[in-house]
A and B are shown apart, each in its own frame.
Chain A
Amino acid sequence: MPGPAPLLVIGCGNLSRGDDALGPELLRRAEALRAPGLEVLEDFQLQIELSLDLVGRELVLFVDASVAAAAPFEFRRLHPARDESWSTHTLHPEAVLHVFQVVQRREPPPAYLLAVRGEAFDLGKPLSEAATRNLAAASAFLARLVGDPRPEAWQALAAAATVAPTSMARERE
């Protein structure tokens, strides 16, 4: 039986909540690339069992809306970090990697985050105009990533990013 696809793209978000749909929308575009060795996985919110989906992968990409990322998007390497949340609703990608580390007792595959700037998240609303523009830019970048799914290529792109990585502790103005 063949193993899991080497490249996993995980998108999460709520299609009915305005710019929260950025993650699933970007995932659709990833699927449309029909790239060999690519698997997409959509979820509403990140949860600890998602760590099991990382097993056997060579490269993992999380795609998501972000209220803190600079427009149009940010791309950065992720590292395992424990979650200090007070709620089961707020798991971040680094925590998923951390769960992998603990459960599998080894380092997770290289993982990256493509965070697309979102502005409005009202229930029942479509993507905002700004989010639509940001999605287009992110889609082009995503195609570039999928076109060259080598860890060293992605690391070079992350290092070359002109925008500072999003900090989980940074306050939004």
Chain B
Amino acid sequence: MSTSVDSPNRLETAADPRSLRRVVIEPLTRVEGHGKVTILLDEEGRVHQVRLHVVEFRGFERFIQGRTYWEIPVLVQRLCGICPVSHHLAAGKAIDMFVGARRLTPSAEKIRRLMHLGQIYQSHALHFYYLASPDLLFGFDAEVSKRNVIGLIAAYPEVAVKAVKMRAWGQEVIRVVAGKRVHGVACIPGGVNKPLDPTDRETLLRDADTMIAWAKEAVDLSRKLYLSNPEFQEKFGVFPSNYLSLVRADGGLDLYDGGLRARDASGRTIFDHVDYFRYRQYVDEQVKPWSYMKFPFIRSLGAEEGWYRVGPLARVNNCDFIPTPLAEAERKEFRNAAGGALQHASLAYHWARTIELLHAGEGIKELLLDPETSGRELVTQGEPAREGVGVVEAPRGTLFHHFKIDEQGLITKANLIVATTNNNEAMNRAVRSVAANYLDGRQLTEGLLNHIEVAIRAYDPCLSCATHALGKMPLHIELVEANGAVIDTLARNGDGSFARG
């Protein structure tokens, strides 16, 4: 986490930005949740400042305050069309505390876990097959026309079919638990609202082995891609960092519940098995003037050194083992590739993501076969409270929901830290690292700029709370002088064509 002159992080703030030309990579949309990368260059095209601006969603507290707490698990699903289940479950865990149900019945918890793993499975499958694979297979400088799913199909013809079916299976797991595949409800205060239907269970089990096998293929492919060019992997978006995630009491990977663990880049434990209700004592958020999104950090290390990464890379780095056999075998290979040390490459996220995909598939099958998942004791309660915290490991990383209520059960305070916010500093570091290595002193091309996109894609940032309304703009790059004059523009259109002018 050095800021020495040789470190890419010297590129956060240029000494004299007014004298520099600014290159802006921006998907021009009118909605929140989209990112923009600004690159300041000098006259020779050398990179002097790189920043990733991600417009964080706003209005959440206004949206939530004054609502009754039992509405929250339904309302929070409206925050994001991609990860509503994560918000639903995190909010569910928070409101459990309002009714004194920190621990649920075994059946209720396993039903929630089933829903969560369904989401992990479909989210990771989508990201790897549809978004990341074309870049990984064909290289970032490949023609746009090849670097897409069509090129992927030509090389691996069954991949697209599998991707769609894996997504559909994961969505079906969610539907079975929540009643609908979108906007369904499973969480009620202290439990879940319905048992698992035996017919649905059998239907899901029928495809489970196939889904696990396909997930294993995804791991094999991602491992092969990662290890095929070690020199490149060790250079692209590589930087040491701290890592934060949940782990089980025995140190095993747990995506639904557990204690907070933080490790530094060397693998030394910073804190472990922390009750996430006390997260504020361990994690704080910094505001920077040039970004709407906050920068969380580990308190004991301070704002400059305490930033951390979350998500698949953090989880696979942090856990002592994965409690499903096939994924555990893959985790060992993952660690062995770095000589037993932690993996720090941004592109290792893809490999770790497929290991989690495999774990999710195995975990879904285990839960479907577990008699307790089909049990009918679904709700519990205890001593009520007025403050609740729910934390889950969403597909993109650790998600915190924190609420307070008044004596009438109305929300008086709400705070969220979403995975993309947790990864804010890390994404900036990745972009700076890529810019320093690939854009410095060279002519700007679409392929070079795609290196930046690839670095961001590895973190699968959630465009949280964005409307998806049609009319989103193409990727737009502006070369702007320090006085604001536009020197040149580049645009990547929705059909992949690239226009300069």
Contacts and interface: CB of A to CB of B under 8 A. Distances in A.
A46 B468 contact: yes
A84 B469 contact: no
Given A16-B63, A45-B81, A90 B164 contact: no
A14 to B, nearest CB: 6
Nearest to A12: B468
A31 interface: no
Contacts of B144: 84
Contact of A87 (B84, B463, B465): B463
A121 B149 contact: no
B470 A67 contact: yes
Contacts of B354: none
Given A89-B82, A123-B58, A99 B496 contact: no
Q: Range of interface residues on chain A?
A: 35 or more
A107 interface: no
Nearest to B181: A43
Contacts of B369: none
A20 B164 contact: no
B469 A88 contact: no
B160 A103 contact: yes
Given A89-B463, A169-B494, A82 B150 contact: yes
A93 to B, nearest CB: 8
Given A46-B468, A48-B126, A82-B149, A169 B168 contact: no
A124 interface: yes
Interface string B132-149: 000000000000100011
B493 A169 contact: yes
* Band of interface residues on B: 35 or more
A49 B171 contact: yes
Contacts of A15: 78
B473 A171 contact: yes
B27 interface: yes
Contact of B30 (A12, A52, A102, A172): A172
A44 B130 contact: no
Contact of A169 (B167, B453, B462, B491): B491
A20 B468 contact: yes
Contacts of B57: 123
A86 B454 CA distance: 8
A49 B167 contact: yes
Contacts of B168: 49, 52
A48 B164 contact: yes
Contacts of A67: 29-31, 469-472
A68 interface: yes
Interface string B251-287: 0000000000000000000000000000000000000
B75 A16 contact: yes
A43 B28 CA distance: 24
A65 interface: yes
Given A86-B457, A89-B462, A17 B78 contact: yes
Contacts of A19: 469
B175 to A, nearest CB: 11
Nearest to A41: B182
Interface in A47-84: 47-49, 51-52, 64-69, 81-84
Contact of A52 (B164, B182, B496): B164
A62 B84 CA distance: 22
Interface of A: 12-20, 42-49, 51-52, 64-69, 81-90, 92, 98-99, 102-103, 113, 115, 118, 121-124, 166, 168-172
30 contacts: A12-B468, A14-B81, A16-B75, A17-B78, A18-B467, A42-B183, A44-B183, A45-B468, A48-B163, A48-B164, A48-B167, A65-B467, A67-B470, A81-B494, A83-B149, A84-B495, A85-B131, A88-B127, A88-B130, A89-B33, A89-B466, A90-B463, A90-B468, A98-B149, A102-B149, A102-B150, A103-B160, A121-B31, A123-B79, A168-B495
Given A67-B472, A87-B461, 4 more contacts: A13-B468, A86-B131, A168-B495, A172-B473
Interface of B: 27-31, 33, 57-60, 62-63, 75, 78-79, 81-82, 84, 122-123, 126-127, 130-131, 144, 148-150, 153, 160-161, 163-165, 167-168, 171, 182-183, 453, 456-457, 460-463, 465-476, 491-497
